[in-house]
Chains A and B, each alone.
Chain A
Amino acid sequence: MSDPGLENLYREVILDHYKNPRGHGVIENADAEAEGQNPLCGDEVSVYVAFDEDGETIDDVKFSGRGCAISQAATSMLMEMTKGRTAHEVATLDKDELLAEIGVPLTPVRLKCAMLGLTTLKVALHKAKGTPLPDGLAGFDDLELT
């Protein structure tokens, strides 16, 4: 992998999402929610989902938490990417779609930061729908289910 490079990794769009996170907040009485932690650096993300009347389309999605620019910006991007899509679609979202949005190569450690929000969101959706967690999620270090 080529060097991410300073300008690259912390490019404008990532810093913008970090400083002005989209969908930041809490949904009271959310239809789906979960809390995720990255034990390596103490990043924390909670996600909240409200479904449309059809019980399937994501009407609103929000997150709260604290952490590094990568984890918070990636989660912010995710909020924009997933609103209006179906629970099933998002629960099975290919992580490459988010990585493409982030758009910079990440080292393995930072990949965990970037995936925290998506993993937590998937857990929330699977829990709400009663579907089993896919293998990849079961292996996620220390995701604390609430």
Chain B
Amino acid sequence: MAVTAPGTKLDARALRSDFPIFEQEMHGKPLAYLDSANSSQKPRQVLEAVDRFYETSYANVHRAVHLLGERATAGLEHARERVRALLNAPDVREIIFVRNATEALNLVAYSWGLNNLGPGDAVVVTELEHHSNFVPWQYIAGRQGAEFLMVAIDENGDPDLSQLDAIARDHNVKVVATNLVSNSLGTIHDLAPLVSWAHGQGAIFVCDAAQAAPHMRVDVQAIGADFVAISGHKMCAPSGIGALWGRGELLQSMEPFLLGGHMINAVRVDKTTWGELPHKFEAGTSPIAEAVGLGAAVDYLEAIGLEAIEAHEHELAAYALGRLAEVPGITLYGPPADRRAGVVSFNMEGIHPHDVAQILDLQGVAIRAGHHCCQPLMHKLGVAATNRASFYLYTIPDEIDQLVDGLHAVRKVFA
């Protein structure tokens, strides 16, 4: 693997050879995989770590006396420590393994929300949320008789913070939930004003970092959040594993989310007591090998350097914005390149994103077409859907060229 020295640029062409998926063609064309914000591809290092774990160390965790059980437990707990280090969390017991960011956010909404929200309280999200940081809050707020409020975005696509004063005046804000990087526009948000506003209201701040953690350094202490959710599959790890970080004292005070095996202390017919952190929130058998894969993915990303990955994506975003602007009839959405992760959303005049994506696919170019689980935002933009090209550490400018060539072909079909 091409290890990057700190402060140096990454070599995407070299890194690409770590990803077996690129060894095949799609429809007879080289694969231009521009859908990494949806899910990332997996490097050999991660695939091999998972294989090795299954071949040498697999058993159930935390309950076996045998050597394999010990090895498996050590593998899982090592992965937890790697995630703690990645996020600069104070304590490894604050890292809860879940299936994905959606589950992490549901965990907080249910476990914290059901015991802390009531009539007169409000949950505040933004118009840029992924449905997974929108729908659970809307639902739990509704169930608890609390209000669910959405901060609209301004013409730059940023949450319009001028609405906050009015919200604070009229509501007892208990939760502020927002993403760090928007999956549909790619905007990297400056969360500081929202975090301090939330804490000023006595609210918790919940950060959806699903789209941030793969692409930049996410430091839970620097953000000042109370909960942070990530998904492994977007950051080179297998699908089926994600993590929630929460402040220890909050996690301690919360009721469990899922109940059953492993999360208990003592079970009697009249009363069951909960296990210690993180086990209280990890009912049932964990996605063990997937967690090991996440640990290996963290190793992989750290060896390259998250700073180098972020810089690479800014560069690609700038290149893509420039090249895409050459295509007649294109509308680009979102902020300038220096404020966005490797995500470019666009529409082609008179051509539905599904048709764009389909024609691109036939040329080996994989993009996402749809509402990106952001229907409120699509509504605001006045479109049913957009096309989205997204980049990662293995993305090379040639793929963006292939996209642009493909878009010219799309225009020809619909001319």
- What is the interface of chain A, defined by CB distance below 8 A to chain B? 3-6, 9-10, 15, 40-44, 66-70, 110, 113
* Contact indicator B354/A70 (Cβ below 8 Å): yes
* Contact indicator A6/B354 (Cβ below 8 Å): no
Contacts of A42 in B (CB 8 A): 370-371, 378, 384-385
Tell which of B351, B353, B378, B409 touches A6, judged by Cβ atoms closer than 8 Å: B409
Chain B residue at minimal CB-CB distance from A6: B362
In the bound assembly, the distance between CA atoms of A6 and B371 in angstroms comes to 24
* Contact indicator B354/A10 (Cβ below 8 Å): no
Task: List the 9 shortest-distance A-B pairs measured between CB atoms, nearest first.
Answer: A42-B384, A68-B354, A68-B352, A42-B385, A41-B354, A69-B355, A6-B362, A68-B355, A10-B413
Contacts of B414 in A (CB 8 A): 10, 15, 69
> Do A41 and B369 contact each other (CB < 8 Å), given the known contacts A6-B413, A15-B414?
yes
* Contact indicator B362/A5 (Cβ below 8 Å): yes
B201 in contact (CB, < 8 A): no
Tell which of B351, B354, B362 touches A113, judged by Cβ atoms closer than 8 Å: B354
B27 in contact (CB, < 8 A): yes
Tell which of A5, A6, A9, A67 touches B352, judged by Cβ atoms closer than 8 Å: A67
By CB atoms of chain A within 10 A, which of B353, B359, B384, B413 has the most? Answer: B384
* Contact indicator A69/B370 (Cβ below 8 Å): no
Contacts of A113 in B (CB 8 A): 354
Contacts of A6 in B (CB 8 A): 359, 362-363, 409, 413
| Chain B interface size range | 10 to 19
> Do A41 and B362 contact each other (CB < 8 Å), given the known contacts A6-B409, A10-B413?
no
In the bound assembly, the distance between CA atoms of A44 and B414 in angstroms comes to 20
| 30 A–B pairs (Cβ distance < 8 Å), ordered by A | A3-B362, A5-B362, A6-B359, A6-B362, A6-B363, A6-B409, A6-B413, A9-B358, A10-B355, A10-B413, A15-B413, A15-B414, A40-B370, A41-B353, A41-B371, A41-B385, A42-B370, A42-B371, A42-B384, A43-B352, A44-B384, A66-B384, A68-B352, A68-B355, A69-B351, A69-B414, A70-B354, A70-B355, A110-B354, A110-B358
In the bound assembly, the distance between CA atoms of A42 and B384 in angstroms comes to 5
Tell which of B27, B359, B371, B384 touches A10, judged by Cβ atoms closer than 8 Å: B359
Contacts of B352 in A (CB 8 A): 41, 43, 66-69
Chain A residue at minimal CB-CB distance from B361: A107
Rounded to whole Å, the gap between the CB of B143 and the closest CB of chain A is 23
By CB atoms of chain B within 10 A, which of A9, A41, A43, A66 has the most? Answer: A41
Contacts of B354 in A (CB 8 A): 41, 43, 67-68, 70, 110, 113
* Contact indicator A41/B413 (Cβ below 8 Å): no
In the bound assembly, the distance between CA atoms of A10 and B353 in angstroms comes to 14
Contacts of A68 in B (CB 8 A): 352-355, 358
Chain A residue at minimal CB-CB distance from B415: A15
Contacts of B409 in A (CB 8 A): 6
Interface residue ranges of B386-415 to A (CB < 8 Å): 409, 413-414
Chain A residue at minimal CB-CB distance from B352: A68
In the bound assembly, the distance between CA atoms of A110 and B27 in angstroms comes to 17
Tell which of A3, A40, A41, A70 touches B27, judged by Cβ atoms closer than 8 Å: A3
Rounded to whole Å, the gap between the CB of A87 and the closest CB of chain B is 30
In the bound assembly, the distance between CA atoms of A6 and B364 in angstroms comes to 12
In the bound assembly, the distance between CA atoms of A113 and B118 in angstroms comes to 42
In the bound assembly, the distance between CA atoms of A68 and B350 in angstroms comes to 10
Contacts of A69 in B (CB 8 A): 351-352, 355, 414
By CB atoms of chain A within 10 A, which of B359, B362, B370 has the most? Answer: B362
By CB atoms of chain B within 10 A, which of A4, A9, A68 has the most? Answer: A68
By CB atoms of chain A within 10 A, which of B358, B359, B363, B370 has the most? Answer: B358
In the bound assembly, the distance between CA atoms of A10 and B351 in angstroms comes to 12
Rounded to whole Å, the gap between the CB of A62 and the closest CB of chain B is 20
In the bound assembly, the distance between CA atoms of A9 and B359 in angstroms comes to 9
Contacts of B384 in A (CB 8 A): 41-44, 66-67
In the bound assembly, the distance between CA atoms of A97 and B369 in angstroms comes to 28
In the bound assembly, the distance between CA atoms of A42 and B352 in angstroms comes to 10
In the bound assembly, the distance between CA atoms of A113 and B352 in angstroms comes to 12
Contacts of B413 in A (CB 8 A): 6, 10, 15
Interface residue ranges of B336-386 to A (CB < 8 Å): 351-355, 358-359, 362-363, 369-371, 378, 384-385
Contacts of A44 in B (CB 8 A): 384
Chain A residue at minimal CB-CB distance from B384: A42
Q: A3-B362, A68-B353, A69-B352 are in contact. List 4 more A-B contacts (CB 8 A).
A: A6-B362, A15-B414, A41-B385, A110-B358
Contacts of A67 in B (CB 8 A): 352, 354, 384
By CB atoms of chain A within 10 A, which of B353, B363, B413 has the most? Answer: B413
Rounded to whole Å, the gap between the CB of A137 and the closest CB of chain B is 22
By CB atoms of chain A within 10 A, which of B354, B371, B413 has the most? Answer: B354
Rounded to whole Å, the gap between the CB of A135 and the closest CB of chain B is 27
Chain B residue at minimal CB-CB distance from A66: B384
Contacts of B369 in A (CB 8 A): 41
In the bound assembly, the distance between CA atoms of A78 and B378 in angstroms comes to 29
Contacts of A70 in B (CB 8 A): 354-355
In the bound assembly, the distance between CA atoms of A15 and B371 in angstroms comes to 24
